[in-house]
């Protein structure tokens, strides 16, 4: 029986890629200061969405008024499960590059509302 050289080569290459990817350092998280001067230094929509998704616990803390507990955990789990759906929705509504504070604000608020929907009750 002949050895399937092509298959063995492709599987070996895939395994090497996975091992290489696992040993790389995680990319540095984007801080809020990165978004301070968008006219001179625009960012991608993905960077803004990554920043917003990284703050899900903060948004749930604000929405529930708690730092822990079942209500807080449910909020975080729901927001994380909605993140890919919300990302797709933002891709349809906003440009690939964010070049102004107004677009950044609209994108951020729309994404936050998609991840952690708030009731219409206004609190004093």
Q: What is the pLDDT of residues 13-22, one digit of tens each?
A: 999 998 888 8
**2 band by pLDDT with thresholds 50, 70 and 90:** confident
Domain count, the chain: 1
The answer to whether residue 34 is domain-embedded is: no
Question: What φ, ψ does residue 43 adopt, rounded to 5°?
Answer: -120, 165
**The pLDDT of residue 124 is above 70:** no
Instruction: Give the CA distances from residue 39 to residues 42, 64, 102, in Å, rounded to whole numbers and listed in that order.
Output: 6, 35, 11
Is 27 part of a structural domain of the chain? Answer: no
Give the model confidence (pLDDT) of 35-57 as tens digits.
888 888 889 999 999 999 999 99
* Domain membership of residue 94 as a residue range: 43-117
Residue 71 has pLDDT above 60, yes or no: yes
Please say whether the beta carbons of 103 and 49 come within 8 A: no
């Amino acid at each position: 029986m002949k050895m399937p050289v092509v298959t063995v080569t492709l599987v070996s290459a895939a395994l090497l890629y996975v091992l290489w990817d696992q040993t790389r350092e995680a990319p540095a998280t984007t801080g809020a200061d990165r978004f301070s001067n968008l006219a001179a230094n625009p960012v991608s929509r993905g960077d803004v969405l990554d920043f917003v998704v990284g703050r899900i616990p903060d948004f749930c803390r604000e929405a529930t008024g708690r730092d822990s507990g079942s209500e807080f955990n449910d909020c975080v789990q729901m927001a994380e499960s909605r993140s890919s759906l919300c990302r797709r929705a933002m891709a349809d509504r906003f440009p690939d590059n964010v070049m102004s504070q107004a677009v950044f604000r609209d994108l951020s608020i729309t994404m936050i509302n998609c991840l952690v929907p708030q009731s219409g009750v206004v609190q004093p």
